[in-house]
Structure 1
Amino acid sequence: MNGRAKVHSLQKRLDAAFARAIASSSDLEVQSDYAKYLCVLVSGFLENAITELIVYYAQNRSAPEVSNFVEKQLDHWTNPNTEKIAQLFGQFSSDWFKVITSQLVDEKKDCINSLVSLRHKIAHGESVGTSLSQIKKYYKTVQDVVEFLSDIVDPRSPTSQIRF
């Protein structure tokens, strides 16, 4: 299974969780609880999708020993804010770093960084306020960012252009 296929599999599970959350209750407090849960899942999706893409890239571009090393290094890679994403990709290519830092700006940057920060607060038991609509917005941005990163490491065709 290629990087995109693995990401798609992760995304399908998350889409199903969103569908259940939206259908389950009109109670705003319950929806807020679902939003917190989905925040953690969306942040995890971003982390796992990036890991899958990088591992796939390493498996297809390097010796098994190098690929194994990359995979083990990513075991410790968490909380993927935009700076950490750019740094990770920059370790593979300075061009990747440049294109990522030029594209993950403004609303995209704020959205990713807010999502990861919110997940951190939720995971550590802090009181936070969020809504399903806010997390859906974050998820849409995460999907766009993951697609953009997929185009970098796993292009659809040799002639595909990186666009965002």
Structure 2
Amino acid sequence: MFHNSELDLQYIKINNLIKNTKESFEPDDELQSHLAKYLCILCSGFLENALKITLYDFAEKRTDDDMINSFIKSQLARINNPNSKKIRETTKIFSSDFEENLNSFMQENDKSSAINYIIKDRHKIAHGKDSDITIRKIENYFKKFVEVFVYIEQDLLKNASA
């Protein structure tokens, strides 16, 4: 799925956990509810990792300068809990044209909203507040934001040698 093996492993882990949770528990099972919250946290971490790793891989392909790559990596490391706006702002640093295309792509089929819901629910869960997240919602949001990062990865790789 992803060109980066680390992202691919994270994707497989989350996807398998979603599948196993759906198969192992009834939809109204309390344990399924707790696993949905756990999956929300994993998805949020995956989202953050996907942004950092994909953009760093792109930058590394564009330059062999270790100092520049080190700077980019340090700046990307500062990104936490990236909602759709933060993702667009970060990609705009690399290319304003790409950010415009990404913005249009993210608006299709509520992909932008899916990212924002994952981050919003992650905050609620992390701070002990109630969350109505379910396995079905997680599965839906996960599919949508994976589409976003596959798009980012493919588009950036296409332009990496430009």
TM range (shorter): 0.7 to 0.9
The CA deviation at 1:35 is 0.5
1:105 match: 107
Q: Number of matched residues?
A: 157
The CA deviation at 1:123 is 1.0
The CA deviation at 1:156 is 10
- AA in 2 matched with 1:124: H
Shift in alpha-carbon separation, 1:115–1:135, aligned structure 2, 3 A: same
1:67 match: 69
Assess if the C-alpha contact under 8 Å between 1:4 and 1:150 holds in 2. Answer: no
Assess if the C-alpha contact under 8 Å between 2:61 and 2:160 holds in 1. Answer: no
2:50 match: 49
The CA deviation at 1:125 is 1.1
**TM-score under structure 2 length normalisation:** 0.87
Distance 1:96 1:5 in 2: 24
Assess if the C-alpha contact under 8 Å between 1:58 and 1:67 holds in 2. Answer: yes
Alignment of 1:10-159 (within 5 A): 10-26=10-26, 28-62=29-63, 63-105=65-107, 107-155=110-158
Higher helix share: 2
Look up the SS of the partner of 1:117 in the other structure. helix
Instruction: Extract unaligned runs of 5+ from structure 2.
Output: none
Identity %, equivalent residues: 30
**TM-score under structure 1 length normalisation:** 0.86
Instruction: Extract unaligned runs of 5+ from structure 1.
Output: 159-164
Shift in alpha-carbon separation, 1:110–1:122, aligned structure 2, 3 A: same
Q: CA RMSD in A?
A: 2.1
Assess if the C-alpha contact under 8 Å between 2:58 and 2:156 holds in 1. Answer: yes
Deviations 1:102-141 (A, max 9, x none): 2211611111111111111111111111211111111111
